[in-house]
Amino acid sequence: MFGYLVRRFLVAIPTLFVIITLAFFMMRAAPGSPFDLERPMPAAIKERIEASFHLDKPIYVQYGYYLKGLVRGDLGPSMKYKDKDVADLIREGLPVSATIGGSAMLLALIFGGILGSIAAIRQNSGVDYAVMGFSTTGISIPTFVTGPILALVFGVYLHWLPSGGLDRGRMTFTHLLLPVLTLALPQIAIIARLTRASMIEVLRSNFIRTAHAKGLSERTVLFGHAMRAAVLPLVSYAGPATAALLTGTLVVEQIFALPGIGRQFTIGALQRDYTVVMGVVILYAALIIAFNLLADILYGLLDPKVRYK
Amino acid sequence: MSAMTGNNAPLEAQMKKALEVEGRSLWQDARARLFRNKAAVASMVLLGIIVFLAVFGPMFWVHDYDTVYKDRVALPPSWENWHFLGTDVQGRDLFVRLLMGLRVSLAVGLVATTVSLVIGVLWGATAGYIGGRLDEVMMRIVDVLYAMPFIFFVIILMVIFRDATAGKPALNILLIFVAIGAVEWLTMARIVRGQTITLKGREFIEAAEAAGVRPLKIVVRHIVPNVLGPVVVYVTLTIPAVILAESFLSFIGLGVQEPLTSLGKLINDGAKNMETMPWTLFVPGITMMVTLFCFNFIGDGLRDAIDPKDR
Amino acid sequence: MSFGKKISMAVGLIAALAISACSPSTPDDPNLKILHRGNSGEPLSLDPHLASGTWENNIIGDMFIGLFTENAAGQPIPGMAKTWTTSEDSLTWEFELIDAKWSDGVPVKASDFVFGLRRILNPETQAQYASLVYPIKNAAAVNAGKMPGSELGVTALGEKKLRIELEYPAPYLTGLLTHYTTYAVPEHVVKEFGSKWIQPENIQVNGPYKLDSWRTNDFVHVVRNPLFYDNENVCLDEIYFYSITDNNTAERQVREGRLDVNNDFPGRKMDFLNKELPGYVRVHPYLGTTYFSFNTTKAPFDDKRVRVALSMALDRDHITKSVIKSGYIPAYSLVPPGIGNYPKGAISNWASLSFEDRKAKAKELLIEAGYGPDNPLQFEYTHRSTGDNPAAAPSVQSDWNSIAPWVNVTIAQIETQILYANLRSGDFTISDGGWVADFNDASNFLYLMETRSGSMNYSRYSNPEYDTIMDAANREMDMVKRADMMMRAEQMMLDDAPVVPMWYLVNRALVNPKVTGWVDNIVDLHRSRYLCITE
């Protein structure tokens, strides 16, 4: 197991390197540059600004500079935010995105898991149809519809919760509830469906029948055996999904005016803020790798048939 | 499959019998079972109607999807002039735009999902079954692509090729297929691989190996049918995901271009006016929901029908 | 059944959290007057020499005061300047400064202005907006690195006396001197902290408010500067500027009461908001025009008849009033009405015709130019991906396609910044675009169509006569004569139709009626020092 971890860790480094390289060149393949503005600046100034970011050099030299900075732990300055470094922007935005994303995922795992299991156990009952109906509805409504509706109803009409923003930069439960719900709804729906499907699969399989035959109680069979096997596909899904949620989502951050990195990142990509985009890609990639590793370890713990070589 | 029933008959004989099952009869059985499922049949009929309307409706409806009626801007639904779902902010008939949007969204959903299904299932099953170095390499590739944020991938693909496709609607939509399809197969591959690893330890696969069946055949014959349950469910999740992904592109202004439309774009436009023109949100919103419900019931029906464990 | 138990537990937990959550947000200190202002974008910089956006101007102008500043109605009034004199030839201006201090007590000196202007023009500063101060003698050369900063026509004649020499007469100089590019910066602070001088812990200001904190993508918080020269007349103690890019989100926050003011709202909802929030909705003409540019160097738009026909065939009334509905004003000229030093503008000579007549005339013109069933007119119209422009595109296409069955237009949406790059490089056939004036003077629009404007003259319009008139107008000090010359030039240009003026922009705002002192104005500048809150 320990050897497996070390090996996965060693593999992660070249993986990250490939990702950085791929992202770097893809980003540069996009037309335009961060300094193509609506109002042009004098050519001499533009050249100077580009030179200060090494944009005047051949692309492989720029790549070299970027890697050199990375090795020193320097993500570079933002090309758009003149007073800020990429590290500053991530430091400010990540806690907000991660709190919202993490809470949403937690909520989704709890509720999705419970709903899915109930639906599976009571397959084809009224409860099952209700859960699946809710789930399909949850998946088919985009967050840019649920977000404004929640904000309007609870913020504007009822005045129960803030319709957006933070409390002077502080995250409070009230300020995060609506964005977390908006983000969690489709995840609850997806997880409920995945849980139900794999649970049904497991309940039909012969090792559960065996367990029943052995005279184990319903409870032990469900929680001791069925659940354990049923969460496997869930683990595959939840690992990367969590990483994606932690790094923020444009829609929720925009609709609720939250200072996360998801919006920063999308706007960065649209405006070619190369360094900001690269910074978030690296962060995202590192999280994904970590969560995938976690998912695989969980897989091993839950399923004794998986062997770590 | 008999090997799964766990009785005491000799395993080899069981395996032999199982391998004799021909694909044809297998699918015939499945079809019979599928048609016994009322929800699935009703959904298929409804989806059939929806598809038919989406494909042929715009040709026969009294209005064209891009005709602007200047004196009929933002009309609520009424029977006057056959605008029975109202008109949009431009003064275009919402019903025919809805059909156009369905056509585009269904196309994006089906094509991108099929692409992701084929690549994802084969990739995941192969990696999971063969394991070892190949698994390592294949999943590393998936990891690398996975670790690229979806938005990054799609935005970059869209902006790189957008200029080339600007003003060419067919190419533009194709680009959306490719951009979304290129991302969606990854989850599929991971799920299938995970299932395959679990399956690999099972008796019937070991039996097939012992019987000298070639690896490719094992993957196609035994692994793929056995992972179909979760896969079909995932497909019914992928189609909405793809349709929603397209709507996200509309949200950031990189989606289908005017005067064409998609369900996601219609919903996005409607969401902006939900208080002043609620019908522009409800009409495409409900349509999207109904369509996805259909996919859902069909998916469930299919899973029950082709589930090898029931055979 | 244990699942039931689990669910009821979870529901209970959530309910408990929700109840405990009903504690309100941190209330404002009742002893302070605090304004919550929605500001449409995240500042890319708060350094007056590095900024370039109107939303940055809103904050910077609350912190810094130039030689001139704006009154509540947005008109130039003296700021740091007490008195000034102009030489006979209008090329030399001398300013006497008032007795003002930076927020650390150091006096504001004429040398701070010299330092500031040399700083923005120093190519090392990498200021994107430096070209705005090019009317100052040698500014362009200094900015290009061809002359040292000491050659710049700005001199400190004493601690409180400043001389500015110009390249050419600029009748709009007082207006220009309200702009942040011309501001003084505290030399002693900038020299000590370098580029970090703008951080909250280092900054010193000469305006009514001082930077307190800046949370990226959330808000900029400024607090009263007690050393501001007019501090006794400043009502509000603190301002929060929220960077809310989505105007639907901002609108909800105004309705909820979290924001007192927002400098935008979704235009289509104007009628709705007027009903929902009586007294909040503010719409006023702005210094901006949306116009399409023809690429006049390429067929088919090298033919004036085709350009005029297409311009005539667009139903601007319908597009602005029914489709976009943002209060935009249909445009038949490039220069928006109400702009400074231009009382009576030009107008396209066909503007008074009915739309039906225009459409018929357009068809005639196209036939005259050789188009018809055998020679269809086909072209691609490109438009920006942002703002109201995508909403207008289908109507534009429909208007053109309905001139005749043989007119066939395709539309292509291009990312806004790429589209502007294409416009400058001439890589388009017909494309939308827009211009918002840098300062309140008609010449800031009309220079766009001069031959020497190069890439900024998107349609590559070149008319020697136009250039000559504009050149003369730039030197004319008699404002009446100057306005007349500019009007003749604009009329000439409109007749040639290198551009299709579509609509004049408006500034929109939601202002809670409890906020007093908000005066709608054409430059859309509402300095917080003039605002107050009454309960």
Model pLDDT for residues C350-369, shown as the tens digit of each residue: 999 999 999 999 999 999 99
Quick one: pLDDT band at residue C4, thresholds 50, 70, 90?
Answer: very low
B143 shares contact with chain C (CB less than 8 Å): no
How is residue A171 written in tokens?
């995250």
Q: Does residue B225 register a pLDDT over 60?
A: yes
pLDDT at C220: 95
Write the CATH number for B100: 1.10.3720.10
Q: Kindly list the residues from chain A whose CB atom is less than 8 angstroms away from the CB atom of residue B11.
A: none
Q: Does residue C306 register a pLDDT over 90?
A: yes
For residues B27-56, give the mean pLDDT. 85
Q: What percent of chain C has pLDDT over 70?
A: 95
Candidate from B47-51, B192-196, C80-84, C468-472 with smallest mean pLDDT: B192-196
8-state DSSP, C28? P
pLDDT at B311: 35
**d(C-alpha A281, C-alpha B156), whole Å:** 13
* Residue C266: half-sphere exposure toward Cβ, Cα within 13 Å: 22
**What string of DSSP letters covers A139-202?**
HHS-HHHHHHHHIIIIIIIS-SS-SS--BTTB--HHHHHHHHHHHHHHHHHHHHHHHHHHHHHH
> Nearest Cβ partner of A144 from B152, B268, B309?
B268
Q: Does residue B166 register a pLDDT over 50?
A: yes
Q: Does residue B120 register a pLDDT over 60?
A: yes
Quick one: pLDDT band at residue C58, thresholds 50, 70, 90?
Answer: very high
Max intra-chain CA distance, chain B: 80
End-to-end CA, chain B = 6
CB-based contact C421:A35 (threshold 8 Å)? no
Q: Does residue C77 register a pLDDT over 70?
A: yes
Strand partners, C156: C162
Q: How do residues C319-339 score in pLDDT, each as one tens digit?
A: 998 888 888 999 999 999 989
Stated pTM of the model: 0.86
Q: Does residue B164 register a pLDDT over 60?
A: yes
Q: Kindly report the nearest CA distance between residue A140 and chain B, in angstroms.
A: 6
**B6 within a domain of the structure (yes/no):** no
Q: Kindly list the residues from chain B whose CB atom is less than 8 angstroms away from the CB atom of residue C272.
A: 275-276
Q: Kindly list the residues from chain B whose CB atom is less than 8 angstroms away from the CB atom of residue C390.
A: 253, 258
Q: Kindly report the nearest CA distance between residue A60 and chain B, in angstroms.
A: 19
C416 shares contact with chain A (CB less than 8 Å): yes
Number of structural domains found in chain B? 1
Q: Kindly list the residues from chain C whose CB atom is less than 8 angstroms away from the CB atom of residue A111.
A: 10
**B8 within a domain of the structure (yes/no):** no
pLDDT at C197: 93
Are A83 and C17 in contact (CB < 8 Å)?
no
**d(C-alpha C384, C-alpha B160), whole Å:** 17
How is residue A17 written in tokens?
């390197």
Output the average pLDDT for chain C: 90
Task: Tell me the residues of chain B between 41 and 80 that have a Cβ less than 8 Å away from chain C.
Answer: 66-68, 70, 73-74
For residues C517-530, give the mean pLDDT. 94
**d(C-alpha B53, C-alpha B76), whole Å:** 22
Tokens 């969980």 belong to residue: A298
Q: How do residues C171-206 score in pLDDT, each as one tens digit?
A: 889 889 999 999 999 999 999 999 899 999 999 999
Quick one: pLDDT band at residue B200, thresholds 50, 70, 90?
Answer: confident
pLDDT at B308: 52
Q: Kindly list the residues from chain A whose CB atom is less than 8 angstroms away from the CB atom of residue C416.
A: 38
**B297 within a domain of the structure (yes/no):** yes
Q: Kindly report the nearest CA distance between residue C95 and chain A, in angstroms.
A: 29
Tokens 């006979």 belong to residue: C88
Q: Kindly list the residues from chain A whose CB atom is less than 8 angstroms away from the CB atom of residue C123.
A: 44-45, 48
**B21 within a domain of the structure (yes/no):** no
**B304 within a domain of the structure (yes/no):** yes
**B7 within a domain of the structure (yes/no):** no
pLDDT at B84: 85
Burial status of residue C239 (CB atoms within 10 A of its CB: 0-12, 13-18, 19 or more): buried
Q: Kindly report the nearest CA distance between residue C396 and chain A, in angstroms.
A: 23
**B14 within a domain of the structure (yes/no):** no
Probe site for chain B from A13, A146, A208, A236 (most B CB atoms < 10 A) = A236
- Tally A–C CB contacts below 8 A: 166
Are A38 and C7 in contact (CB < 8 Å)?
no
Are C124 and A48 in contact (CB < 8 Å)?
yes
Are A284 and B147 in contact (CB < 8 Å)?
yes
The dihedral region occupied by B140, where left means phi > 0, alpha psi between -120 and 50, and beta the remainder, is alpha
Q: What percent of chain C has pLDDT over 90?
A: 68
C26 shares contact with chain A (CB less than 8 Å): yes
Quick one: pLDDT band at residue B25, thresholds 50, 70, 90?
Answer: low
pLDDT at B309: 52
**d(C-alpha C380, C-alpha C412), whole Å:** 7
Q: Quick check: helix, strand or coil at residue C263? A: coil
Q: How do residues C456-486 score in pLDDT, each as one tens digit?
A: 899 999 999 999 999 898 888 888 999 999 9
Q: How do residues C389-420 score in pLDDT, each as one tens digit?
A: 888 899 999 999 999 999 999 888 887 878 88
Q: Does residue B2 register a pLDDT over 60?
A: no
Quick one: pLDDT band at residue C152, thresholds 50, 70, 90?
Answer: very high
Q: What residue in B sits closest to C390 (Cα-Cα)?
A: B258
**Type of residue at A10:** L
Q: Kindly list the residues from chain A whose CB atom is less than 8 angstroms away from the CB atom of residue B268.
A: 142, 144
**B286 within a domain of the structure (yes/no):** yes
Task: Tell me the residues of chain C between 96 and 155 that have a Cβ less than 8 Å away from chain A.
Answer: 123-124, 126-131, 143-145
Are A165 and C253 in contact (CB < 8 Å)?
yes
Quick one: pLDDT band at residue B165, thresholds 50, 70, 90?
Answer: low
Higher pLDDT among residues A269 and C314, named by residue: C314
* Residue B304: half-sphere exposure toward Cβ, Cα within 13 Å: 16
* Residue A130: half-sphere exposure toward Cβ, Cα within 13 Å: 6
Output the average pLDDT for chain B: 78
Are A38 and C416 in contact (CB < 8 Å)?
yes
pLDDT at C275: 93
Which residues of chain A carry a pLDDT beneath 50? 309
8-state DSSP, C68? E
Higher pLDDT among residues A243 and B101, named by residue: B101
Are A232 and B194 in contact (CB < 8 Å)?
yes
Higher pLDDT among residues C2 and B234, named by residue: B234
Q: Quick check: helix, strand or coil at residue C156? A: strand
CB-based contact C321:C392 (threshold 8 Å)? no
CB-based contact B202:B129 (threshold 8 Å)? no
Q: Kindly report the nearest CA distance between residue A308 and chain C, in angstroms.
A: 34
List the domain range (segments joined by +) for residue B121: 26-310
pLDDT at B11: 38
Selection from A43-52, B106-115, C112-121 with the highest mean pLDDT: C112-121
pLDDT at B310: 45
Quick one: pLDDT band at residue C122, thresholds 50, 70, 90?
Answer: very high
H or E segment to which residue C382 belongs = strand C377-384
Higher pLDDT among residues C107 and A123, named by residue: C107
pLDDT at A49: 85
